[in-house]
C-alpha cells in the first residue's frame, strides 16, 4: 500500500490569508485526489489532480479558491485561498494504485479564526 504524508498536520490561520498543504506519496501514482471533511461531516471530493494536466474540480469548488499543483508523480499541493472560518476543515489527499485501491493521507486540520 502507498504511504502518504501531509504537511502541515494542523494549522490555525487568520481570515483572509492563504495556506498551502503538501501531499507526498512514497511511490509514483497517476491519480491523486483532494477531499475536505467539515466538522462532523463525511468527506467531500474537491478535485482530481493528475500529473501533466489541469486539476478537475467538483461542483461547488473553483480553482481560484483551491488552486492545485501536481508537478510530478509523487507530489501535489492544495492551496486554500482567502480563508474564512467556513474553510475550517480537515483536508485530505488520496492516491489510487494500480489495483483500484485508494489510500488516504492523515489529513491537515485547518482552523480559521
Partner 1 sequence: DAKTTQPTSMDCAEGRAANLPCNHSTISGNEYVYWYRQIHSQGPQYIIHGLKNNETNEMASLIITEDRKSSTLILPHATLRDTAVYYCIVGGATNKLIFGTGTLLAVQP
Binding residues vs partner 1 (CB under 8 A): 1, 4, 30-31, 33, 35, 42-45, 48, 58, 92, 94, 96, 100-107
Query: In the complex with partner 1, which residue's Cβ is closer, 45 or 73?
Result: 45
Of residues 29, 71, 36, the one with CA closest to residue 57? 36
Taking the complex as a whole, the smallest distance from the CB of residue 43 to partner 1 amounts, in Å, to 4
Distance CA 74, CA 23 (A): 8
Taking the complex as a whole, the smallest distance from the CB of residue 90 to partner 1 amounts, in Å, to 8
Of residues 2, 7, 11, 9, the one with CA closest to residue 87? 11
Distance CA 71, CA 86 (A): 29
Q: 47 pairs with which residues across the strands? A: 34, 57
Query: In the complex with partner 1, which residue's Cβ is closer, 9 or 18?
Result: 9
Taking the complex as a whole, the smallest distance from the CB of residue 16 to partner 1 amounts, in Å, to 28
Taking the complex as a whole, the smallest distance from the CB of residue 42 to partner 1 amounts, in Å, to 5
Query: In the complex with partner 1, which residue's Cβ is closer, 75 or 103?
Result: 103
Give the cell for residue 77.
499541493
Amino acid at each position: 500500500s502507498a504511504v502518504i504524508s501531509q504537511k502541515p498536520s494542523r494549522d490555525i490561520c487568520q481570515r483572509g490569508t492563504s495556506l498551502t498543504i503538501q501531499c507526498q506519496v512514497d511511490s509514483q501514482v497517476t491519480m491523486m485526489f483532494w477531499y475536505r471533511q467539515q466538522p462532523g461531516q463525511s468527506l467531500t471530493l474537491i478535485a482530481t489532480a493528475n500529473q501533466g494536466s489541469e486539476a478537475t474540480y467538483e461542483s461547488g469548488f473553483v480553482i481560484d479558491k483551491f488552486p492545485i499543483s501536481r508537478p510530478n508523480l509523487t507530489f501535489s499541493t492544495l492551496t486554500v485561498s482567502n480563508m474564512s472560518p467556513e474553510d475550517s476543515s480537515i483536508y485530505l489527499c488520496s492516491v489510487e494504485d494500480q489495483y483500484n485501491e485508494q489510500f488516504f493521507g492523515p489529513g491537515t486540520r485547518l482552523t480559521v479564526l
